[in-house]
Amino acid sequence: MLRHLVTAAAAAALTASAAGPSFAQDTVKVGIVQSLTGQLTAVGKQIMGGVNLYMQQHGNTVAGKKIELVVKDDTTVPDVARRIAQELIVNDKVNILGTGITPATFAIAPLTAQSKIPGVIMVSGTSSATERSPYMVRASFTLGQQSGIIGEWAAKNGSKKVVIVQSDWAPGAEATQVFSEHFTKAGGQIAETLKVPLANPDFSPFLQRARDANPDTLFVFIPAGQAGLFVKQFVDRGLDKAGIKLIGPGDVTDDDDLPNMGDGIIGTVTAGHYSADHQSATNKAYVEGFKKLNGMRPNFISLGGYDGMHLIYEALKKTNGSTDGDALVGAMKGMKWESPRGPVSIDPDTRDIVQNIYVRKVERKAGELYNVEFATFEAVKDPIKAAKK
């Protein structure tokens, strides 16, 4: 009963805060809720690297309004993300939210619907994140976009029997689902699906089980920040020497960890939306600027922060600085731009990002390990939503 009362009061506060005269302010407040400590700290660091670079390059004034960031740490705990987002909406009166990993984005999405505040998804790669509120717009990626493409590529390039190693949470389930559908349809066989806990993973026992099943290929989804440990254990267990190919969405050859992975990772083929080696002038400037500001290589996660800020800035230009939630989301729908990852747009029907997916192979280039792109699938939509139509 008490819980119901509290919830009703909170909902009333959310609605009241959204009804304020947002057009009258000179400042646009952007609340950024990310995992800056805890299990997925590496993700939060890359997002903030992208957000801060965008603001360094583009200044803090848009359409006559000053952009004020309010950055908060969700400690990689979804309940904390929800509480912080609620405080940001009710107390700080933020006009826009930037959300993080899938569980946090799921926790925040209903608040954006109640308060009619746009929620720019900077990390979550889970399809349904945009379906949980009409105010959610994705600047990140989906696991499905990448996993179907690598599934077909693997079947066409000699993989017949695969063991899946999947981090056990929503984006992992989607990577497995979409990969399995595409790979088996193209004639491949899935021998086993092994689910590894998200928190403090030890991949060794799973890699042993995978090896015992005698596959020719391992399909792996693990989140950013865990790739270094995974590849070390893959090599330590001798799976590379046993001739077992490693494939997956881009997370396993994360640009952040890649430089320290060693030669055991060379030749690994993945499908991803971003490589620090992407050949364009826009990306060259991005990598240089990012390294200079943040002291590390940008990875696929960082683009959600950088392009997320671009979406916010450009939407504000279109609304002439109005922070009305419906106007901002309307302005984001259909927006197109050249990102460091390549050309992107926001699907006006689903509010998902539509982007190129590149098939890449790890190579040593001028002494450093990179994902070198060799095939491009243009303007890829989220396949899970596409299948529902």
Residue numbers at the binding site for ligand PHB (CB under 6 A): 43, 101-102, 123-126, 171, 223-224, 251
Alpha helices in the chain (DSSP H): 2-18, 41-58, 78-90, 102-115, 143-156, 170-185, 204-212, 227-236, 281-294, 302-318, 325-332, 383-388
Residue nearest to ligand PHB (CB): 101
Minimum gap (Å) between residue 171 Cβ and ligand PHB: 4
Nearest CB to ligand PHB, comparing residues 101 and 315: 101
Beta carbons of 136 and 109 less than 8 angstroms apart: yes
Smallest gap from residue 124 Cβ to ligand PHB (A): 4
Cβ at position 120, least distance to ligand PHB in Å: 14
Euclidean distance between CA atoms 372 and 269, whole angstroms: 9
Which CB sits closer to ligand PHB, 102 or 166?
102
Cβ closer to ligand PHB: 120 or 123?
A: 123
User: How far is CA 374 from each of CA 154, 182, 277, 361, 371, rounded to the nearest angstrom?
Assistant: 14, 20, 11, 7, 9
Task: Using DSSP bridges, classify how beta strands 336-339 and 161-167 pair: parallel, antiparallel or unpaired.
Answer: unpaired
* Nearest-approach distance from CB 366 to ligand PHB, in angstroms: 26
CB of 300 to ligand PHB, least distance (A): 7
**Which tokens go with 251?**
């997370």
User: Residue 18 or 164: which CB sits closer to ligand PHB?
Assistant: 164
Question: In the bound complex, what is the minimum distance in angstroms from residue 87's beta carbon to ligand PHB?
Answer: 22
141/370 with CB nearer ligand PHB: 141
**22 versus 105: smaller Cβ distance to ligand PHB:** 105
Cβ atoms of 379 and 355 within 8 Å: the answer is: yes
Q: How many CA atoms lie less than 13 Å away from 11 in the CB half-sphere?
A: 9
Structure tokens at 243: 């001739």
